[in-house]
């Protein structure tokens, strides 16, 4: 186990390096500079600004100096948010995304798995049908429709919850964005769980167990649940990263200071250092979570080896 983790950590370094390199050069090839705006700057003013941020140097030199400061944990100054460094911006957004992301993730997995299991057990009944219809609606409903609808009902008409804001993450500010964020994933988890459970329930070893006359609940919990969770666990990787990096739509609508908005604003403004910093962070999340998923596989199916 420890060996596995160490190996993964070693592999992460070249992976991230490739990712950084590709992203770095991709951004430089994109049209527009961090400092172009509606008013074009006089060349001498532009030159002053570029000199200040080191953009006047050859691209390769910029690349290596970026790697140099990265090695010391310095993600550089933000080009867009000029009063902040990327480290500070990340430190400000991380708790927000982590808090709402982890709550949404736990909610999503628990809801998705239990609802999906329920639908599978009641396959082809009205309950299965209504659960799956709701799930399908959840998959189809884009967040830019869902979120304003939630706001309209709960904030404007009923006035139960605030329409936006974060305010340090008090509960009432979390509920609506969390719902807006998780519905798609709850629905997806439910669909996957249902499909997987139905498949497992029809497999030979469950039939054998049934034939032996074991109690139904026992069969489900002890025998069916674990193998059925396998694809759900696979999907947890992408889902977790998707939720934690935040949905820019949800963050924009609810005014949350999380990663999603930072990333999109960074990209649209060509804030090279901010985008790179967040790419590294999100890349690391992906790598870590995939490693966790691989460890979970071994728990679900002890026969799995790497």
Partner 1 sequence: MKTAKTLAASLVSAAILSTFTTATFAADVPAGVKLAPVQELVRGNGTEPASLDPHKTEGVPESNVIRELLEGLVNQDGDGNLVPGVAESWETKDNKTFVFHLRKDAKWSNGDALTAHDFEYSFKRAVDPKTAAPYSWYLEMTTMVNAAEIIDGKKPASELAVTALDDYTLEIKLEQALPYFVAMTSHTTLKPVHRATVEKFGDKWTLPANFVGNGAYKVSEWVVNEKIVMARNDNYWDNDSTVINKVTYLPIENQVTDMNRFLAGEIDMTYEMANEHFKRMQKEQPDSLKVTPYLCSYYYGFNNKKAPFDDVRVRKALSYAIDRDAVAKFIVGKGELPAYNFAHQKVAGLQVDTPDYATWTQKERNAKAAALLAELGYGKDKPLEFTLLYNTSENHKKIAIAVASMWKKTLGVKVNLENQEWKTFLDNRRNGNYDVTRAGWCGDYNEASTFLSLMQSNNGNNDQFYNSPAYDGFMNGAMAAVDDAVRSDNYRQAEAQLAQDMPLAPIYHYVNARLVKPTVGGYPMNNAEDKIYTKDLYIIAK
Partner 2 sequence: MLDNKQNSEALSEFADKLEIEGRSLWQDARMRFMRNRAAMVSLGILVFITLLVAFGSHLSEFAFDDTDWGAMHHAPSIESGHYFGTDSLGRDMFVRTLLGGQISLLVGVMGAFVAVLIGTLYGATSGFLGGTVDRVMMRLLEILYGIPFMFFVILLVTFFGRNIFLVFVAIGAVSWLDMARIVRGQTLSLKNKEFIEAAEVCGVSKWKIITRHIVPNVLGIVAVYATLLVPQMILTESFLSFLGLGVQEPMTSWGALLQDGSQTMEIAIWQLLYPAAFMVVTLFSFNYVGDGLRDALDPKDR
The site string for partner 1 over 241-260 (x = CB under 8 A, - otherwise) reads ----------xxx-xxxx--
Query: How far is the C-alpha of 141 from the C-alpha of 151, rounded, in Å?
Result: 15
Cβ atoms 258, 2 nearer than 8 A: no
The site string for partner 2 over 92-111 (x = CB under 8 A, - otherwise) reads --------------------
Q: Which of residues 137-196 bind partner 1 (CB under 8 A)?
A: 148, 151-152, 155-156, 159, 162-166
Residues 93, 94, 97, 100, Cα dihedral to 10° = -110
* DSSP reduced 3-state for 300: helix
Residue 134 binds which entry of partner 1, partner 2, none, with Cβ cut-offs from 5 to 8 Å by kind? Answer: none
Residue 56 binds which entry of partner 2, partner 1, none, with Cβ cut-offs from 5 to 8 Å by kind? Answer: none
* DSSP reduced 3-state for 158: coil
Residue 169 binds which entry of partner 2, partner 1, none, with Cβ cut-offs from 5 to 8 Å by kind? Answer: none
In this chain, which stretch among 79-87, 89-97, 141-149, 167-175 interacts with partner 2, using CB under 8 A?
141-149
* Shortest Cβ 142–partner 1 spacing (Å): 14
* Shortest Cβ 2–partner 2 spacing (Å): 17
Q: What angle do CA 109, 115, 118 make, to 5 degrees?
A: 135
Q: Which is nearer to partner 1, 56 or 61 (CB)?
A: 56
Decide: is 192 part of the binding site for partner 2 (CB under 8 A).
Answer: yes
Is residue 122 packed enough to be buried (19+ CB in 10 Å), middle (13-18) or exposed (0-12)? middle
Query: How far is the C-alpha of 66 from the C-alpha of 29, rounded, in Å?
Result: 17
Nearest to 50 by CA among 27, 87, 79, 75: 79
Query: How far is the C-alpha of 275 from the C-alpha of 201, rounded, in Å?
Result: 46
- Contact residues toward partner 2 (CB under 8 A) are 11, 14-15, 18-19, 22-23, 26-27, 29-31, 132-133, 136-137, 139-142, 144-145, 148-149, 152, 188, 191-192, 194-196, 199, 202-204, 227, 230-231, 233-235, 237-238, 241, 263-264, 267-268, 275, 279, 282-283, 286-287, 290, 293, 297, 300-301, 303-306
């Amino acid at each position: 186990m420890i060996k596995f983790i160490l190996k993964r950590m070693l592999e992460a370094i070249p992976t991230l390096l490739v990712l950084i390199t590709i992203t770095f050069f991709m951004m430089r090839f994109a049209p527009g500079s961090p400092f172009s705006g509606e008013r074009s700057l006089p060349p001498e003013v532009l030159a002053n600004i570029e000199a200040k941020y080191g953009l006047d140097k050859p691209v390769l030199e910029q690349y290596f100096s970026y790697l140099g400061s990265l090695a010391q944990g310095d993600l550089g100054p933000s080009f867009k948010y000029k009063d902040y460094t990327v480290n500070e911006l990340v430190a400000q957004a991380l708790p927000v995304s982590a808090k709402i992301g982890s709550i949404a993730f736990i909610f999503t997995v628990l809801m998705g798995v239990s609802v999906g299991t329920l639908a599978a057990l009641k396959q082809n009944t009205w309950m299965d049908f209504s659960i799956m219809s709701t799930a399908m609606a959840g998959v189809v409903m884009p967040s830019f429709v869902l979120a304003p609808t939630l706001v309209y009902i709960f904030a404007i008409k009923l006035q139960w919850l605030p329409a936006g804001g974060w305010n340090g993450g008090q509960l009432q500010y979390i509920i609506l964005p969390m719902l807006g964020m998780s519905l798609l994933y709850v629905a997806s988890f439910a669909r996957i769980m249902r499909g997987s459970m139905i498949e497992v329930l029809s497999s030979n070893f469950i039939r054998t167990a049934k034939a032996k006359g074991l109690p139904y609940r026992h069969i489900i919990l002890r025998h069916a649940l674990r193998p059925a969770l396998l694809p759900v666990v696979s999907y947890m990787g992408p889902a977790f990263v998707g939720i934690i990096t935040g949905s820019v739509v949800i963050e924009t609508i609810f005014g949350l200071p999380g990663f999603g908005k930072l990333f999109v604003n960074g990209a649209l403004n060509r804030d090279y250092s901010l985008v790179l910093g967040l790419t590294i962070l999100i890349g690391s999340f992906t790598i870590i979570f995939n490693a966790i998923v691989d460890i979970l596989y071994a728990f679900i199916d002890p026969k799995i080896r790497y």
